[in-house]
Amino acid sequence: MGSATPVKICGLTRPEDVDAAVGAGADAIGFVLYPPSPRYVTPQRAAELAARLPAFVTPVLLFVNTPADEVIAAASAVPGALLQFHGDETPEDCLAASQQGQRAFLRAARIPLDPDAPPFDLLGFSKRFDRARAILLDAHVPGYGGGGQTFDWSLLPAAPDAHLVLSGGLTPDNVAAGIAALRPLCRTLSVDVSSGVEAAKGIKDHGRIRAFVDAVASC
């Protein structure tokens, strides 16, 4: 891995941004295959961009409530890609779209922003999606995706057997604090950033990408 805490840069739409993320040391590159997103790319475009990746940098394809046959078709064009389910998918949906786990997948969990909301049952969620390679933690905002907002990391319970991916509002300035808060709670921790390294939606700031990867590596 490029760092003790692996880094995923998500929402890539341009070849120069893919190259910049790889050059900065990212471990994974995410492509959003959800048409309403401003970072949406077609499956064909995702395949073209993923073809730029060198060995040991993993492509990740993000889906939201996409029918299994469409997920399977899109994934067939990107060998070695992880799948990321970011909608209301059930465990059965995830297994069907991943061809019964033949294709590794992540499952996003939407963490409430309201401090008065019931505590998020991370243990229960991770057990329910026990076939997922990791649970990705994102803020619960209207629609899908974290909206560039952080949630209260201190409210999460320990999940010592879980592989977690911290997402939602991360930037070069706060990612070290997020890692410090969550790393003791889980088996392994990775981080995922999109809007926190952007100049505009879908357009990455190469300097912020480098700063983010450097901040993670310093932890």
Give catalytic residue positions. 10, 138
The C-alpha torsion from 146 through 89 and 135 to 73, rounded to 10°, is: -100
Q: Is the dihedral of CA 160, 163, 168, 170 positive or negative?
A: positive
99/87 Cα distance (integer angstroms): 18
CA neighbor of 60 nearest in space, from 9, 94, 113, 17: 9
70/142 Cα distance (integer angstroms): 25
